[in-house]
Structure 1
Amino acid sequence: MRKFISSRHLNKSPGCSWIEYDKRVHVFTSGDVLSHPEHSIILKMLEKLDGLLMESGYSADGSFVLHDVDEEQKAHSLRCHSERQAVAYGLLKVPNGMPIRVMKNLRVCGDCHSAIKLIAKITSQEIILRDANRFHHFKDGFCSCRDYW
């Protein structure tokens, strides 16, 4: 499939997510954490979330990374998915008690789905993620799609 795409000079859309805060749309691209003006605090929040996830028993599912790299690089790649960046930014900016609303241009991967369920539980924060197929309402460690997406 990749050869077909490259032979036809077609491009795959990069995964991107966005969140609106303070009347501005903040866009995040998978793998590109440094392009956001507040990247330093977003990276710190991603690291904090990683620690909380690990304490709760989460481990990254590298099967969702299609590149031929070692497990540590796969975990780093998953950590930099656009929806996780947007959720981290939302946790930093959206007032407690208000839902975090994230939009995504592609489907959410299974690893991010599991991680965001756990993030919603750990932080007691409602997270609404609209991906290419449906709305996912994450609350108290559960998703409205019942893990079918």
Structure 2
Amino acid sequence: MLKETRKRERACIEREKRCDRILRREAVLEADESRVRDERECLKNERKRIREDIAEQVERESERMRRCLKESSDRQRERDRRILFALCLGVCSSMVPMLAVVMQGRWQTFADSLFDWLHMRGKQLTAVGQWLAGINARLNEIIPSG
């Protein structure tokens, strides 16, 4: 009987040791799972912060590009206005000598040079039209109405 009791005690001790090992393993697993959850949360927060940083950088860069394009557009529009003014001034200023000839009563001189004058004005107006078509602009884009 004593032998049997000792045998049962040893078996019980072995089971207790096995239970203790299982409990320690479960405690280690729970600690590891807790650490993994914490690391996952940290990574999630870091990913969110990185996305926000990238969004902010993209916003700043797109705003900078918008300003740059607007400034470039403004410079181009101002240049186009000056060119249009010069072309229109050239067309208009060529009329002053013709008016002077007519006012002096030299109709014959006016009539003789009218064809050449109209031909040159046609070339100037063609140049203005080609320029407007070339820059793909409408007149009110260059010179706003009002």
Asked if Structure 1 and Structure 2 have the same fold, meaning a TM-score greater than 0.5 normalized by the shorter chain, the answer is no
Bigger-Rg structure (1/2): 2
Q: Which has the higher strand share?
A: 1
How high is the TM-score relative to the length of structure 2? 0.22
Q: What is the TM-score when the length of structure 1 is the normalising length? A: 0.21
